[in-house]
Amino acid sequence: MYLVSACLIGVNCRYDGDNNYNEKLYEMFKESLLYPVCPEVLGGLEIPREPCELITIKNNYEVYDINGINKTTEFFRGAQKSLEIADLIAVRGVIFKERSPSCGVHYIYDGSFNKNLIEGKGLTTSYLEDVGYKIYSENELDKLEI
């Protein structure tokens, strides 16, 4: 069983109420190989919601929405709840949506809301990786050990 970003299997949990449907992942979900989570919703944020971006200040994470409202607490809560679920069902890895401030695996936006991509990880990705979970993006499905 892998944890997966819920938007990747078609759940409309994105900030704009849409999803990032991936057919291969939906097929894996139907085979009971995936357990979906949306860290931002688990953290208490609504659908739809204002877009948020992550910035790192002296090794500390902070998250702001496009209006400058600090959403760091909700993002950490979502990361903690995602970790609890991962531990509870003892997932063998995680498949997360690239470029998200929660789920990004290799790239995130730089916090300027100007669509500038930088190398970096989402907050939940870092949280799970720090305790040893292997994280794959939706572009790395060929690396999964099923």
Residue numbers at the binding site for ligand SF4 (CB under 6 A) = 5-7, 13-14, 38-40, 97, 100, 102-103
**Least distance between ligand SF4 and beta carbon 59 (Å):** 22
Please, what is the minimum distance in Å from the beta carbon of residue 111 to ligand SF4? 16
CB of 94 to ligand SF4, least distance (A): 11
Nearest residue (CB) to ligand SF4, 46 versus 87: 46
Q: How far is the CB of 97 from ligand SF4 (least distance, A)?
A: 4
Residues pairing with 53 in the sheet: 64
CB of 54 to ligand SF4, least distance (A): 11
C-beta closer to ligand SF4: residue 58 or 111: 111
**Nearer to ligand SF4 (CB atom), residue 14 or residue 121:** 14
Beta carbon nearer to ligand SF4, 11 or 58: 11
DSSP line for the chain: -EEEEGGGGT---STTS-----HHHHHHHHTT-EEEE-HHHHTT--SS---EEEEEETTEEEEEETT--B-HHHHHHHHHHHHHHHHHTT-SEEEE-TB-TTT-SSEEE-SSSS--EEE---HHHHHHHHTT--EEETT-GGG---
Q: Cα(123)–Cα(1) distance, rounded to whole angstroms?
A: 22
Q: Which is nearer to ligand SF4, 58 or 70 (CB)?
A: 70
